[in-house]
Structure 1
Amino acid sequence: MHAADDLLVERGFTGLTIEGIAQRAGVAKQTIYRWWNSKVDILLDTLIDDAREALEWRTDESASAEENLASHLRRVADFFEEPAGQVLQALLGQAQLESDTAVSLREGFLKEQRERDVTGLRELLAHELVVDERTLDHLVDLLLGPLYYRVLVFGAAIDQELVDTTARLVLTLARESSSASP
C-alpha cells in the first residue's frame, strides 16, 4: 500500500499501474491481484488506513470549542498535504470520470469519514450546545466545504486564516441554532 501511495505522488493517477506497484513493493503482480482487483481498490484501502488516524477528532479539555474545532480543521488541512491526502484528491478526480470509482469512494471512505465527522462535531458541541441532527449535518458541510473547495477547486493550500474563520463561523451558527441555552 505504501508503494501505491509513493507512486501516485511521483507519477500521478494515470501513471500508477499494478505492475509499477508490484515492482516497487518487490512482489509479483499476481500477489497484488490476489488482494485487490484494481489500483483504485488499493488506493481506497490505503486512504482508509491512513485517514483513520490523521482525520480523527481529538478534544483538548483545556481548550475552547473554537480552538478544538480549529485544531481539527488544521489536521484536515495537513492531511491534504500528505500522500494520503493526495490519494483522496486523485480518487475524487477519478470519481468524476468513472462511476464505479465514485460509488466505491462514496459508499466506503466518504461515508465512514462523514459518520466520524458528524460524531466528532456532535461530541465537541455537546459540551455547551444541543443541535438537532439535520442542523448538525449542515454544519459538517459548512465546516469542511471551504477546505475541500480551496484544495480541490483552486489547488491551493489551506491557510490558518481560513481554518480560524471557518471554525468561528460554524461555531457561531451552531450557537444560533442550538435548542439549548448556552
Structure 2
Amino acid sequence: MITSPSSLRRSERSRRATLDAALELCTEKGYGRVTVEAIAARAGVSKKTIYRWWPSKGAVLLEAFTEALVGATPFVDTGDIAADLRTHINGAVRLMSTAPYGPAYAGILSEMHHDDDLAAAVRDQLVGPRVEGAVARLRGAQEQGQIPETADLPLAVEMLYGPVYYRHVLRKPAQDEATVASLVAHVLRSLGAGE
C-alpha cells in the first residue's frame, strides 16, 4: 500500500522549493526583475500558495536570507570574545558577498524603503533577533570579565555591524579577514576590553 506524504512534509517541500527558486531567480535576473509569478513557476507551486505563506516577493527572499544568515553566523562562545566576533562577522561578510544572498539582501534593503511591511519584517525577523543574539554574546563576555560592566553593548553591536552594512549597501568591496580583525579589535578597545 502506497501512502501519500503528510501535508506537513508536502508544505515543507513547497516552502523550500519556493525559497530556493526565489534565490535562483534573484541571481539570474536581479532582484528587481523577480516576480511572484516566476517564483511560483520555478518552484512548481501556485501563486496562491506563495501568497498564503508570504505577503510579497521581498518576504520570500527575506526568509531565505534570514535562514542562510542564521546558519552562517552562529553566536558561539569559545571563551575568546575577539575570536568569536571575528568568526561571526567573517561569516556575515562571506554570505553578503556571494550570490545569491548578497544580491537578494541588497534588493530587500532597497525595497524596504518603499514597503513599510517589509521594513517591519526585516526589523522583526532579522535585525532584532540578530542584535539580541549579539548583545547576549557580548553580555556573556562581560560575565567572563572580558568586557567591562560599563560597556554599552547595543552600541558595540552597531559599531561591529555598521561597517559591514555600509560596504554592502554602497557596493564597496567586502572586508577581508584582516580588516574584520582590525574592526573587532577596535570595537573591543573602544569598550575598554582587556584594560
TM (normalized to structure 1)? Answer: 0.84
Return the alpha-carbon distance in structure 2 between the equivalents of residues 27 and 141 of structure 1: 39
Return the alpha-carbon distance in structure 2 between the equivalents of residues 70 and 22 of structure 1: 38
CA change 1:107–1:175 in 2 (3 A) is same
| Counterpart residue identity of residue 114, structure 2 | L
Instruction: State the SS of the aligned residue for 2:30.
Output: helix
> 2:91 matched to 1:75?
yes
Contact 1:65/1:125, CA 8 A, preserved across alignment: no
- Matching residue of 1:26: 44
Return the alpha-carbon distance in structure 1 between the equivalents of residues 67 and 81 of structure 2: 28
Which of structures 1 and 2 has the bigger CA Rg? 2
Residue identity over aligned pairs, in percent, reads 29
Return the alpha-carbon distance in structure 1 between the equivalents of residues 108 and 40 of structure 2: 20
Instruction: State the SS of the aligned residue for 2:45.
Output: coil
Q: Deviations over 1:19-55 (max 9, x none)?
A: 1111111222222223222112212222232222212
> 2:31 matched to 1:36?
no
Unpaired runs of 5+ residues, structure 1, are none
1:97-108 matches, within 5 Å, as 97-108=114-125
Aligned residues: 175
- Aligned residue among 158, 179, 186 for 1:162: 179
- Aligned residue among 40, 43, 56 for 2:74: 56
TM (normalized to structure 2)? Answer: 0.79
Return the alpha-carbon distance in structure 1 between the equivalents of residues 73 and 96 of structure 2: 10
- Matching residue of 2:154: 137
Contact 1:151/1:158, CA 8 A, preserved across alignment: no
- Matching residue of 2:33: 15
Instruction: State the SS of the aligned residue for 1:156.
Output: coil
